[in-house]
Structure 1
């Protein structure tokens, strides 16, 4: 009976696993490119200097074109699981960051900015306590990243806010966010 329970639990976890563009389940602690599908001219996720920052602390969608995959991002959960499943509490962090940036280069959400609640690296006082999750989108094989503030019953989608300079900043929005797919960080093909 116990073996049957374990088999059912494992089958359920694999069924809800988040998959990359190759159809492989995302590994807990694995490194991936997050590729937004927000128009043909935009690329992957990277860091940029915005506003009064003297170091690139803003998480943005690259303007370099759809062929640029962005920077590799480590996707990990504090739970002892092998694979990332939908709705699992996550930490997102760049695999590497400029020497001026805080270490580890984990994503945080900062409130009170002109663009709203922005996704940034640590270094701001007005951060929102919470976590990220990956959820299935309404489109097959596509996902969305959401942020859930601690103590809140709802989560906001991660979307894009284009500033006056044309920089596509990642923000938490009440509207529908961006749809993304994942590509292994060691992949050589775009």
Structure 2
């Protein structure tokens, strides 16, 4: 899964992405966090390459995500995201998903701080996935957790059980999707043409 914004239509894991979290003084703050979670107990940051997403069914239990899910949840703003559908010949066709009204939305995520041997702090994040809604089903069997605006505060500050109740497919009637150029599969590709419908 890649994310998309109006400024950067092709955001891949390993990239610094804007994330909103709750500050100790009660404010919501936005930071650039590296996409690929590095738990604070990790020996080195390379583990982040394997932890760009967390399954919602086990996020509250898995050692890599459990602590962050309890205390360090975040919101990742996006205009859309991509998923790939298997087609004939072993190829995959990318599809772009967004809100039907074209408005930006927020993906549910987790964040962590990791301190390197040199004392430098690396702040990272991951996205949480859940089962698909009816818009996603024809393309993929997972989708990112989308947090409704009314649930922003609960996602950022409520207890883990409350947050877990928000890990669910988003209402399909609010979403749209279409196939896009396979160029989006190359992370170096950019430009608004990547989200234009083809075929």
TM class, shorter-chain normalised?
Answer: 0.3 to 0.5
Q: TM-score, normalised by structure 1?
A: 0.34
- Quick check: which one's helix share is greater? 2
Q: TM-score, normalised by structure 2?
A: 0.33
